[in-house]
Structure 1
């Protein structure tokens, strides 16, 4: 199968912590794990819902302690992303978890930033960071985190909203998003994964987001679908994640991506937390190609959509989209 040039717009760097690196960092930092056998650890990655995943996910993050740890984590992801055809990565990170573990913000951002600088130097890869707030920790904690991060403003391009969705609507975070906008930061938010279409509306109307992460349940509201189509609001869909967390049918052939494409939505394919959900972005492309019988023109559309949805320059977008068109011409010719 063809590896398409693509942007990855919905990936949590902490969710790329593969079991072998998890064990290496645990030993490095003298952190106790349930097992030091990577196969035993990954056998735990069968989740009933989002919360059961988050419990394992946040527990594993206790191994990240130093700037070098964050450098190693991001470097491993960026190497794998380049193999997957990623030309542009806009990478989420969750500083509140690490701050809660006693790790200084500077260690987190410096490690991630250095990894990006090294991986993109002289390569065809472009990458930036998006700071995410954990919605279950509340709006006050989000504002405090933003204040902590602003001295490092040049090291991230935007803010996002993630973690447990239901019960924590976007409207709770209006003030911190307004502050982020005033600082010139891009705004995205997870919405419509577990929460209904009203969460997507709130993210658009109250947080003024430029991109919706997931957004699957927007399909339940025809008026919202029309708005998303008319305003070309990007949706960053994560198929293998949806199946793993049971926010979509277990049969990938019934995934709503087909309906999103049919509605003319600006939808892209992403990996979310690939170390836990069985695949990186190229694996997601191939899974959807197989399950939905997508043809080359549809796959090219997803790749074009991903680049259109980035926060990169228009010139960079045009160059990447031209690369997609060249691949399409080659596989169709």
Structure 2
């Protein structure tokens, strides 16, 4: 994560950031060298390139111009094999995450991740290069331990969200089970992430819907990636069939006037990631056509977030600056921070403290 000069907002809250998308690139390089795990990039023709220095790594994984969501997600193939399956590495990235948030002025954050992607016990590990005994449950324990320590050491509050993956519905039952088991350790919600699903057509949704219904029945909070690169109908499906309390991204909700009006009236919270939305092609390159402007002007409930800092090379302050460039006032950005506090999945005690701290810093909103 970078530090933005002249940052005007001393107390920040972030609700949409992927733990495995917020790793320090220098940590990837250091673990590669100390553990003897080469960083390998494979191009479309199957040609492999071994990366050994910071400049080459950043050139390979940092994306600065609009691309497809598929290409954006491909960057994870380069650095995730260095971390996945390694208990110490997973602890390190989660602990460093807390330090980076504190340095960025983030006082409360919900870090989301899929534990299966960091494990190595699956028949075909998603990223780990060899099988081992680091299970998805072990991943959650390790992350919880690291976030607990990081929260104490850096005086911030870090909760976590466990993600189902749209292409792996067979993982979803275990995800909701882990959410229930570790509810008292800061696992505050379930999410569905990955490539956008096709609402009403995708048979893979069945496994996810069962998990989200179980989450709903057991008082587990729900957020769903929807309407990012996919159609507005995904937002409707997330709300009606996955019991979503918040929507990750959701930009295309504006394509459906009735649904947009419903979300506005019901106060549905949208986790907006300004820079990410442009780089992934979810929103136009012309920032003055970004739906965030309409959200702000019409009083939609939203927060501002980074998404994947290792790929976007952004800090939350950078997304605030981009929002300013779109025409949002500082007051609208402060309102979004209060929105984030109120829409967070924090405990009532944590939320009460957050809101009081925000009033102390920014005044009543």
Fold match by TM threshold 0.5: yes
- Residue 152 of structure 2 is matched in structure 1 by 121
CA deviation map 1:73-94 (0-9, x unaligned): 0122211111222121111011
1:236–1:270 Cα contact (<8 Å) kept? yes
Is 1:38 matched up with 2:54?
yes
2:102–2:154 Cα contact (<8 Å) kept? no
CA distance in 1, matches of 2:184, 2:358: 30
Is 1:15 matched up with 2:21?
yes
1:5–1:320 Cα contact (<8 Å) kept? no
Is 1:304 matched up with 2:314?
no
Candidates 15, 35, 44, aligned match of 1:29: 35
- Residue 102 of structure 2 is matched in structure 1 by 82
| TM-score (normalised: structure 2) | 0.83
Structure 2 CA distance for partners of 1:224 and 1:60, relative to 1, 3 Å = same
1:6–1:307 Cα contact (<8 Å) kept? no
CA distance in 1, matches of 2:99, 2:265: 36
Structure 2 CA distance for partners of 1:122 and 1:140, relative to 1, 3 Å = closer
CA distance in 2, matches of 1:314, 1:150: 18
Candidates 178, 189, 192, aligned match of 1:161: 192
Q: What is the RMSD of the two structures over their aligned residues, measured on CA atoms?
A: 2.3
1:15–1:276 Cα contact (<8 Å) kept? yes
Is 1:3 matched up with 2:3?
no
CA distance in 2, matches of 1:311, 1:329: 23
After TM superposition, give the deviation of residue 12 of structure 1 in Å.
0.4
CA distance in 1, matches of 2:143, 2:183: 14
Is 1:247 matched up with 2:279?
no
1:133–1:161 Cα contact (<8 Å) kept? yes
Out of 79-88 and 201-210, give the one that drifted further. 79-88
Q: How many residues are paired up?
A: 328
Is 1:193 matched up with 2:228?
yes
After TM superposition, give the deviation of residue 319 of structure 1 in Å.
3.7
| TM-score (normalised: structure 1) | 0.90
Candidates 268, 271, 276, aligned match of 2:311: 276
1:109-258 aligned within 5 A: 109-121=140-152, 124-137=155-168, 139-147=169-177, 151-155=181-185, 156-167=187-198, 171-172=205-206, 173-258=208-293
CA distance in 2, matches of 1:148, 1:297: 39
CA distance in 2, matches of 1:278, 1:288: 17
* Structure 1 stretches lacking a partner, 5+ long: none
CA deviation map 1:120-178 (0-9, x unaligned): 226541111111011012x2232244446655453322110001114475943211111
* Higher helix fraction (1 or 2): 1
CA distance in 2, matches of 1:150, 1:307: 23
Structure 2 CA distance for partners of 1:4 and 1:248, relative to 1, 3 Å = farther
CA distance in 1, matches of 2:209, 2:224: 12
CA distance in 1, matches of 2:179, 2:351: 28
1:171–1:207 Cα contact (<8 Å) kept? no
Structure 2 CA distance for partners of 1:39 and 1:30, relative to 1, 3 Å = same
1:89–1:128 Cα contact (<8 Å) kept? yes
After TM superposition, give the deviation of residue 274 of structure 1 in Å.
0.8
After TM superposition, give the deviation of residue 227 of structure 1 in Å.
1.4
Structure 2 CA distance for partners of 1:106 and 1:96, relative to 1, 3 Å = closer
